[in-house]
């Protein structure tokens, strides 16, 4: 009895290797290196250009909004001013020189040729508030008397006061100078004016600050300068000698005097 031989289910190793041979790995590609090739550098020009463009855009936007805000503020201020004017019809206060008396006016020339002035003046000014619903509160007033641009006396009205609607306030003050040194040209001009019929031209300056009150609203202090011109003194006869003096009180002509009120608005270090 013979044994039967059955074929094996497992494939023969040599046969499998023949059918599926292992391929060798592909060869490595050689990396080419060029010594003349420039190294890679990022393009910074376009980056800086974009950055400058962004900064310029932000700056333009800031300028635009700033100008727009300023325009809106000016528009609101204009509208508020128009409404205020329509409701209250505000007017500037008026000032008038009621009288000016010169009690002393001495020009004395020393041996060294210098000339000094000693003067005493009494000034009366009236101020009127022409408004119906606006009240003015004034600080003390500094007063200066000039002749041809040269100061000859100064003084002040040292009290604060209130000018109510449709009210007239009388201000009296004394101006003086003591041995005030004058230039030769100024002295010659004064002596020439004293010989004329029109006599010595005088100008009065009043400087103060005031607030304006409308019902419950009160503004900030605003500088005010009052310039009064057209005044001429009526001093007694004076010769052209070494000393010109006036001992008696004389009145100045104020019939042609006109006073102008200027608002002196201060912004930072500048006054307008």
Distance of CA 40 to the CA centre of its chain: 59
pLDDT at 133 over 70: yes
| Confidence band, pLDDT 50/70/90 cuts, at residue 110 | confident
What is the gyration radius of the CA atoms in the chain, in angstroms?
48
Q: Model-level pTM? A: 0.67
φ/ψ of 171, rounded to 5, equals: -120, 130
> What is the tens place of the pLDDT at every residue in 139-173?
999 999 999 899 999 999 999 999 999 999 999 99
> What is the tens place of the pLDDT at every residue in 213-247?
988 888 889 999 999 999 998 765 544 444 454 45
CA 206, CA 208: separation in Å to the nearest integer?
A: 7
Tell me the C-alpha to C-alpha distance, in Å, between residue 119 and each of 109, 123, 220, 244: 15, 13, 37, 11
> What is the tens place of the pLDDT at every residue in 14-49?
555 555 555 566 655 555 555 555 555 555 566 556
């Amino acid at each position: 009895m013979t044994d039967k031989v059955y074929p094996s289910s497992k494939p023969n190793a040599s046969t499998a290797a023949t059918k599926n041979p292992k391929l060798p790995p592909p060869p490595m590609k050689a990396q080419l290196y060029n010594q003349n090739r420039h190294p890679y550098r990022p393009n910074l020009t376009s980056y800086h250009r974009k950055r400058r463009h962004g900064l310029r855009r932000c700056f333009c936007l800031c300028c635009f909004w700033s100008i727009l805000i300023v325009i809106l503020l000016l528009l609101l201020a204009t509208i508020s001013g128009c409404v205020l004017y329509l409701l209250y019809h505000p007017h500037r206060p008026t000032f008038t020189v009621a009288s000016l008396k010169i009690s002393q006016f001495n020009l004395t020339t020393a041996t060294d040729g210098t000339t000094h002035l000693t003067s005493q003046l009494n000034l009366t000014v009236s101020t009127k508030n022409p408004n119906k619903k606006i009240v003015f509160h004034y600080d003390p007033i500094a007063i200066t008397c000039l002749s041809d641009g040269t100061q000859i006396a100064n003084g002040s009205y040292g009290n604060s006061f209130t000018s109510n609607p449709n009210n007239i306030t009388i201000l009296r003050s004394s101006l003086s100078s003591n041995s005030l040194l004058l230039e030769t040209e100024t002295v010659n001009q004064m002596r020439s004016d004293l010989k004329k019929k029109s006599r010595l031209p005088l100008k009065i300056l009043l400087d103060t600050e005031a607030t304006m009150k409308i019902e419950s609203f009160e503004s900030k202090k605003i500088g005010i300068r009052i310039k009064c011109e057209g005044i001429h003194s009526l001093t007694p006869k004076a010769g052209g000698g070494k000393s010109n003096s006036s001992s008696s009180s004389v009145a100045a002509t104020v019939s042609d005097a006109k006073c102008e009120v200027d608002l002196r608005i201060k912004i930072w270090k500048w006054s307008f």
